[in-house]
Amino acid sequence: MPLSVPTWPELLGSATGSAVHLEMRDSYAVDYETGPFAEWRAGFRHDPADRESWWRPWLDLIQGTVGRGVAVRRARIVSEPVSEYTRFLYDGTFTNIAAGELVRWLPRRQASDIALPGNDFWLIDGRLIRWNHFTGEGASAGGEMSEDPAAVKLCADAFEAVWERAIPHDNYKIS
């Protein structure tokens, strides 16, 4: 029986020790006309001193999750030279870090020998996967939940292999 897909507050609220996220795409739902990416392209940059202007309510959720003692780690596998969208993500990652996430970057060519799942995912407490499905254009195509032990092991092993090789955000320089 398929598991229902919880809301993000429900999913992260269920975490007691860890929540890890692996991102493997070079762009996600790029809107060149409106929204944060378009604003960034026009020169907008988040002001580190103006936390209220950052990505809400997501960062509040991350801050609350970390505040409960949950380690939240995000790893991004990226092509180099990086895409314009990856530059946008990179420029805003300081907000994730300020909320308490640990973020690392792995150049795609260094991931060639890692067994990776076919989709981005969140793994909660090493037991529950939320697969993130996307269209070819990067728009969300919904999520899917799994507790399948083989899939959990694949995701856990893949994430840890990526994390071990990946470069902490403060040390990663985009090309």
Are β-strands 102-107 and 71-78 bridged in parallel, bridged antiparallel, or unpaired? parallel
Please state, in angstroms and rounded to a whole number, the distance separating the CA atoms of residues 35 and 48.
19
pLDDT at 101: 97
pLDDT at 55: 67
Please state, in angstroms and rounded to a whole number, the distance separating the CA atoms of residues 41 and 32.
8
Question: Across the strands, what pairs with 168?
Answer: 104
Please state, in angstroms and rounded to a whole number, the distance separating the CA atoms of residues 158 and 133.
18
List the one residue out of 136, 52, 141, 132 whose CA is nearest residue 98. 52
pLDDT at 49: 83
Ordered by start, the domain boundaries in the chain are 8-171
List the one residue out of 116, 118, 124, 156 whose CA is nearest residue 3. 124
Length of the chain: 175
The CA distances from residue 82 to 13, 38, 85, in Å, are 33, 18, 8
Positive or negative, the CA dihedral 89, 94, 99, 104 is positive
Segments in the chain below pLDDT 50: none
CB 25 within 8 A of CB 133: no
* Tokens (6 digits) for 146: 């799994």
The residue written with tokens 């070079």 in the block is 26
User: Domain spanning 8-171 has what CATH number?
Assistant: 3.30.870.10
pLDDT at 32: 76
pLDDT at 118: 97
Q: For residue 132, which phi and psi values (nearest 5 degrees)?
A: -110, 115
Are β-strands 167-168 and 18-23 bridged in parallel, bridged antiparallel, or unpaired? unpaired
List the one residue out of 118, 126, 119 whose CA is nearest residue 153. 126
